[in-house]
Amino acid sequence: MVARYELEGSAQAPEQITYDVGKYKLFENALEDTSEWFLESEQDPLTEEDENTVAAKVTLPVKPEGA
């Protein structure tokens, strides 16, 4: 995986970055004979807002550009 970002001034890059990996669910529409993948989410019981389901957390080391 490649992630690029700019650091301001004398800011140092972190030693590692953690990504939340989502979970997808296939929905099939039999009437139109189509299917589509959607990012799974769960509704927060307090705010009633949808939050994406995190299936895994992946932590990767940061390799500075040119290293």
For 40, residues 6+ apart whose C-beta sits below 8 A from its C-beta are 22, 23, 24, 25, 52, 53
DSSP 52: E
pLDDT category, 32, cuts 50, 70, 90?
Answer: very high
Question: Per the structure block, which two tokens stand in for 10?
Answer: 């004398």
Task: Please state, in angstroms and rounded to a whole number, the distance separating the CA atoms of residues 21 and 53.
Answer: 8
pTM as predicted: 0.57
Beta strands 24-29 and 34-39, pairing class: antiparallel
pLDDT category, 66, cuts 50, 70, 90?
Answer: low
DSSP 15: S
Does residue 58 carry a pLDDT above 60? Answer: yes
